[in-house]
A and B are shown apart, each in its own frame.
Chain A
């Protein structure tokens, strides 16, 4: 027999038990978003690969060729593509998660389920795109004859993806909750994502930077850890450890803060959305 109480909100937890009860919804929301994203497109899922590929071409032409940015010991296209597919988990995931509460408002107003499922599913969709693009990265590795340490590469793929998802999820929840209340964030998010790309070592290596303020931002940028880890594995070097530590602290702070704010405000989403 299920027994529960409905009353004004008092204490705030993660609501983990409920997330487990409703676990099938993760699958359905993710599945719906993936299906809908590529519905009525001629190329379908190929867009998941084409998007980072086209960005890689642009960055290679402007930064690799024109500005001759050093890309450690691997070809610039591989360097930038590897960085971009990790970065896209963040940029796609954050944009989708931040808008998720508003775009699903018709469901939120009608049916109860743990609201956290929606932003988590948005991040899972971005993760799906990553998997597709990751296979293209393997092709690129062969094409450019890049030697990687295979077990290390697989391990760091795994770890960087987890870090990237967590780094997306915290700010995603925060922005999703804020967006319900203040629609201003709808306009802030694209700038935020574009701006952050340039203070994350995605298209250039960390040691290229000379200004201290830029180094400081990079150190506390949550996306630095996953991108740095992935780049290190691609170019077969040790990661810059102090960057991993500072960035991971930032991931944790955003994660706790974001989920806390989301849980504290979620009861009133239906009234505001």
Chain B
């Protein structure tokens, strides 16, 4: 069987300007022309020599950390930007959902936007007309279909957008991160639709997401990218395993810049988020043990000293406060490790307030001092359910028969 997509030695180079406007001004172009041609440019290879084949009916998941080149690869596949080297042979129409709702116009009504968006995504007017009722039905916004889009809530806009996209019928469908938004119920509906498209209709799907659970569920084949290089391709299960083991590598750069706080009686000098063995973590896998290591300096004798941490959701709901035992402190440099092995948080980012106090009076306080992030690494725990909430832990329990 002939592959539907042949990706051959694709490389993509970007030029990065250092501390300059992202776009050129004419004056700069002229002065650069006279002075020097490539002074402040730095070449950055977002993709290097990536090759793989996709066969009809396959669902391929592309995984990799942020900046691994996933989005660049999708942009090249959907012809938004050309590769610097290499070529791709495609044997079928490609439609991409790089971001649903592309081309939506706030002044136009829902009905008008369905036609506009569908057409931009490559549907014929006839096709849209034929499927119009299904699209509206799927979106669940039929009551507001003649209302301007700007009066829709963001959730409704998203639903409408996804509904149009769900009825596209290209041979190859590229999907990027669409499942990361919307309410839990609509996400379920979308997952169902995706499964229907890939499994029942035999469409070729290329899927990129940080949601490992979704990728593993939908895809049979996988591609793992790291720093623009393809490091693994094959069965999804194996590729996912490789990706997860990469997570256990020690991470760097989790030190926080705290120099601005150095004028108080006591102040932190470094904060680190670590796994249970003391290796730095950028993101904490849900379900694993983790700890926070704080180095701090005490300038003068401080009676009844304690450290408090307040955990907040990104919506600024403070949901937990923890603190250390109070003790009298002599001047000097100290370290404290706060270990967590019972309570887990749901997938996402959390902000942390840090405070030092003496006799319950604040002597140091930093609002949103640092963030921690919990990541789904594809382990089947209850914590991965989108509706499981912020705090997840087992209680001591005993089931007895009566």
Contact = CB atoms under 8 A, between A and B. Distances in A.
A4 B90 contact: yes
Contacts of A272: 23
B47 interface: no
A181 B27 CA distance: 12
A267 B81 contact: yes
Contacts of A9: 82
Interface in B100-122: 102-103, 105, 107-108, 112, 115-116, 119-122
B88 A183 contact: no
A67 interface: no
Contacts of B80: 108-112, 270
B41 interface: no
B82 A111 contact: no
Nearest to B98: A110
B26 A184 contact: yes
A9 B78 CA distance: 15
B93 A107 contact: no
Contacts of B84: 8
Interface string A170-211: 000000000001111100000000000000000000000000
Nearest to A1: B91
Nearest to B119: A28
A225 to B, nearest CB: 30
Contacts of A181: 23-24, 29
Given A36-B108, A107-B103, A110-B98, A8 B90 contact: no
Contacts of B76: 6
A238 interface: no
A25 interface: yes
B210 interface: no
The contact size tier of chain B is: 35 or more
A182 B88 contact: no
Interface string A109-149: 11111000000000000000000000000000000000000
A3 interface: yes
A32 interface: yes
Contacts of A113: 120, 122
Contacts of A183: 23, 25
A216 interface: no
A182 B112 contact: no
A35 B107 contact: yes
A240 to B, nearest CB: 37
A11 interface: no
B326 to A, nearest CB: 54
Interface string B167-201: 00001000000000000000000000000000000
B82 A110 contact: no
A40 interface: yes
A3 B90 contact: yes
B387 interface: no
A111 B102 contact: yes
Contact of B79 (A1, A112, A184, A185): A112
Interface of A is mostly: mixed
A110 B89 CA distance: 20
A1 B172 CA distance: 13
B96 interface: yes
Contact of A111 (B88, B90, B91, B103): B103
B75 interface: yes
A34 to B, nearest CB: 11
B262 interface: no
Contacts of A40: 107
Nearest to B92: A2
B102 A36 contact: no
Nearest to A39: B107
Interface string A1-28: 1111111110000000000000011001
Given A3-B91, A6-B77, A111 B96 contact: yes
A35 B82 contact: no
A145 B87 CA distance: 66
A111 B81 contact: no
Contacts of A271: 14, 81
Nearest to A271: B81
Contacts of B385: none
Interface in B62-91: 75-91
B151 interface: no
A24 B124 contact: yes
B25 A6 contact: no
Nearest to B8: A7
A268 B81 CA distance: 6
Contacts of A39: 107-108, 148
A106 interface: yes
A36 B106 CA distance: 9
B125 interface: yes
A6 B103 contact: no
Interface in B25-72: 25-27, 29
A112 B29 contact: no
Contacts of A109: 80
B99 interface: yes
Please list the 10 inter-chain residue pairs (A to B) with the smallest Cβ-Cβ separation, ordered nearest first. A7-B87, A112-B79, A6-B88, A110-B102, A184-B26, A182-B26, A28-B119, A39-B107, A267-B82, A270-B80
Interface of A: 1-9, 24-25, 28, 32, 35-36, 39-40, 106-113, 181-185, 267-268, 270-272
10 contacts: A2-B171, A6-B90, A24-B125, A25-B120, A111-B98, A113-B120, A182-B24, A183-B25, A184-B26, A267-B81
Interface of B: 14, 23-27, 29, 75-93, 96, 98-99, 102-103, 105, 107-108, 112, 115-116, 119-122, 124-125, 148, 171
Given A6-B76, A24-B119, A267-B82, 13 more contacts: A2-B93, A3-B91, A6-B77, A6-B90, A7-B87, A8-B84, A8-B85, A24-B125, A32-B116, A112-B79, A113-B120, A113-B122, A181-B24
